[in-house]
Amino acid sequence: MHSSMISKIDKAHRYAQEPERVSIATLDVNFHGGHDTYQVHLAEDHWACSCHTYGSLGTCSHIMAMQELLGVMLSNQARLES
């Protein structure tokens, strides 16, 4: 393997241990819940989900799970919005 690639791999491993380097602005995911697959969307610090609970309550377990998974990679607003 080329020596410059080795240093890039080392840097990638170091970066992966520092999630605060990443800030997520928009995100679209398919979330495989207990009953179905839902589309979870984040844009401009606002979440949306295709599940019925989100439609009723304005938040859901899918969004809360994404907030927990992504943690420091989200803005304060996106991390706390429910």
pLDDT in tens, 64-78: 999 999 999 999 999
Q: Angle CA(65)–CA(81)–CA(54) in degrees, nearest 5?
A: 65
In this prediction the pTM is 0.86
Is residue 28 a contact partner of residue 11, using CB atoms and an 8 Å limit?
Answer: no
Tokens of 64: 């809360």
pLDDT at 32: 97
pLDDT at 3: 78
pLDDT in tens, 8-38: 999 999 999 999 999 999 999 999 999 999 9
